[in-house]
Amino acid sequence: MAANQVGRQTITFGILPRLVSMHTIVGTLEGKGPYGGYFHEVLEDDLLGQKTAEKAERQILENAVNEALRKGGLVPQDVQYYISGDLLNQVISAVFSARSLGVPFLGIFSACGTFAQGLGLASIMLQGGFADKVMVATSSHYQTAERQYRYPIELNIQHVPTNQHTVTGAGACVLATEGEGPKITHATFGKVVDMGLKNPNDMGSAMAPAAFATLEQHVQDTGRPPDYYDLILTGDLGRQGLKMLHVIAEKKGFALGSNLQDGGALIYGNDPKVGAGASGAACSAVMTLGFVATQLYQGKLQKVLLIGTGALLNQLTIQQGDSIPTVAHAVAIEA
Amino acid sequence: MKPQEYQALVKENQPPRAIGKNVFLAFLVGGAISAVGQLVLEFVSGVERTTDEAAAVTLAIMILLGSVLTGLGVYDKIAEKGGAGAAVPITGFSNTVTAAAMEFRREGFILGMGAKMFVIAGPVLVYGILSGFTVALIKAVVLGYF
């Protein structure tokens, strides 16, 4: 077993990569939610005056990246790599933001679990001595996701209670070997799990088994029981996925503590208009960098396990009758 | 856990759909749209000479109404409550075309709006025409027109 491996799927970072600088931007609906006060910037116009939602999304991502650099007193050249992803085909928002940033770019995709994957990969680069500062950022936009995965915005659709609403926003952070900020201690990368579910209007139920598999593996690898953490934040299973995660845990006799929360279920509060809650690559980014990081700074939380979950579907495979593959990546963060 | 076992669990744990409420709202919304259509027809009948002409003008007005409400961003909100009550009338058909036209306008007039305007409404046209043709064919055979 390699030096930094812990068990089968978990790795540990002895140098403790730190989140030294971060910025989150959310749309109007997210800003109105109960966590609105935790985000660094709330948009007044989800389109930022742009002609298309795609242009708006990449602008939001670029703004988040630039602000994260500025807050850290950094210029792009101080960062060795830019790891970024989003929900759109060819991770195109990330690509355009990388064009503006001008830093070696690694585009990644785990759908809504992209942010956790990015934190894990950046930590590996820092631990390995391949970089001393890495930028990680993800974005999503309600309107761009709707058109790519679902229907035109103005279409006469009646949403079902298990639908999830894609978060408009972006989160960007700089991970560094030195400096002040929350530390990344472990990462558990997940396997792709597919329980044969085919309903794209219920991605939470599809992702719950992946979240459980990664959580169970993390507990087994590290020997840390779930209540070791002050907060286990899955993101974004939504209310339906969270319910299924509890159902699975109960079936397996696995004790989930009251410390388990879901970013997708939290961000909009109990707004009935958004179905089961939120999804989107920005969801776990803004909840982690907005809410969790603030709580870690303030000492209200000490140890947090972020489990980013992604439904790896595309419109073609759904129409061709394939089921939804899912993945979950966990990252342990400490104050 | 086997996939089948999990799928059964998911089925058991689906949140209940408010079918009674949805049906009632669909009845109200669909009925209201139809009532508006009837009012328009009554008015137009006084202007047009034949019932056929009046019906055609009424359809055109309802299509315009659905399209304008879509453009104002109202129709999807009516449909969120009204479901099939908003989707089935011709205003709903108008909405599918207008919504697609608005959405794909961003990719230009030819390859965007022009090519994708009927991306949702297309199947309705294809199978509407096909079933209309089939029924007419059966009628022609049965009545011995051939």
Same domain as A153, residue A281: no
- Judged by a CB distance cut-off of 8 A, whether residue A160 touches chain B is yes
For the purposes of burial, counting CB atoms within 10 Å of the CB of A116, is it exposed (0-12), middle (13-18) or buried (19 or more)? buried
pLDDT in tens, A175-188: 999 999 999 999 99
Same domain as A204, residue A157: no
Q: Is the peptide bond before A45 cis (omega within 30 degrees of 0)?
A: no
Span B69-91, mean pLDDT? 95
Range of the domain at A49: 5-176
User: Chain B residue closest to A147 (CA)?
Assistant: B103
Same domain as A225, residue A119: no
Q: Chain A closest CA to B16's CA: distance in Å?
A: 8
Q: Which of A176, A194, A224 is the last residue of a domain?
A: A176
Q: Which of A176, A192, A222 is the last residue of a domain?
A: A176
Same domain as A191, residue A55: no
For the four alpha carbons of A263, A73, A13 and A224, in that order, the dihedral sign comes to: negative
Residue B78: list chain A partners with CB under 8 A. Answer: 156
Give residue A124's pLDDT.
98
> SS3 string of A171-216?
EEEEEECCCCCCEEEEEECCCCECCCCCCCCCHHHHHHHHHHHHHH
Residue B69: list chain A partners with CB under 8 A. Answer: none
Question: Per-residue pLDDT for A127 more than 80?
Answer: yes
| Summary mean pLDDT of chain B | 94
User: How far, CA to CA in Å, does A12 sit from each of A5, A185, A189, B49, B129?
Assistant: 6, 6, 12, 83, 63
Question: Per-residue pLDDT for A14 more than 80?
Answer: yes
Q: Which of A59-68, A198-207, A238-247, A264-273 is predicted with the least confidence, judged by mean pLDDT?
A: A264-273
8 Å CB contact between B71 and B102: yes
Same domain as A76, residue A225: no
Same domain as A30, residue A172: yes
pLDDT in tens, A36-72: 999 999 999 999 999 999 999 999 999 999 999 999 9
For the four alpha carbons of B41, B45, B48 and B50, in that order, the dihedral sign comes to: positive
pLDDT in tens, B99-124: 999 999 999 999 999 999 999 999 99
Give residue A26's pLDDT.
98
8 Å CB contact between A87 and A169: no
User: How far, CA to CA in Å, does A307 sit from each of A30, A57, A79, A114, B57?
Assistant: 20, 24, 26, 11, 58
8 Å CB contact between A11 and A5: yes
Q: Calculate what percentage of chain A has a pLDDT beyond 90.
A: 92
Span B57-71, mean pLDDT? 97
Residue A46: list chain B partners with CB under 8 A. Answer: none
pLDDT in tens, A223-240: 999 999 999 999 899 999
Give residue A237's pLDDT.
96
Question: Per-residue pLDDT for A190 more than 80?
Answer: yes
Same domain as A105, residue A41: yes
Chains A and B form CB pairs within 8 A to the count of 93
Same domain as A203, residue A68: no
Same domain as A209, residue A80: no
Closest Cβ–Cβ partner in B1, B9, B75 for A156 = B75
8 Å CB contact between A308 and A329: yes
Residues 6+ apart with CB under 8 A from A312: A109, A110, A111, A192, A324, A325, A326, A327
Same domain as A193, residue A169: no
Question: Per-residue pLDDT for A317 more than 80?
Answer: yes
Same domain as A247, residue A203: yes
pLDDT in tens, A76-126: 999 999 999 999 999 999 999 999 999 999 999 999 999 999 999 999 999
Give residue B119's pLDDT.
92
Residue A154: list chain B partners with CB under 8 A. Answer: 70-71, 73, 75-76, 95, 98-99, 102-103
Give residue B75's pLDDT.
96
Same domain as A228, residue A311: yes
Q: How many domains does chain A have?
A: 2
Residue B71: list chain A partners with CB under 8 A. Answer: 154
pTM of the shown model: 0.93
Question: Looking at chain B from residue 36 to 95, which residues have their Cβ under 8 Å from any Cβ of chain A?
Answer: 70-71, 73, 75-76, 78-84, 86-87, 92, 95
Q: Which of A138, A160, A176 is the last residue of a domain?
A: A176
pLDDT in tens, A236-262: 999 999 999 999 999 999 988 789 999
Q: Chain B closest CA to A50's CA: distance in Å?
A: 11
What's A49's domain CATH number? Answer: 3.40.47.40
Q: Chain A closest CA to B57's CA: distance in Å?
A: 24
Residue B10: list chain A partners with CB under 8 A. Answer: 197, 202, 205, 244
Give residue B17's pLDDT.
85
8 Å CB contact between A297 and A334: no
Spatial distance between the Cα atoms of A57 and A49, rounded to a whole number of angstroms: 11
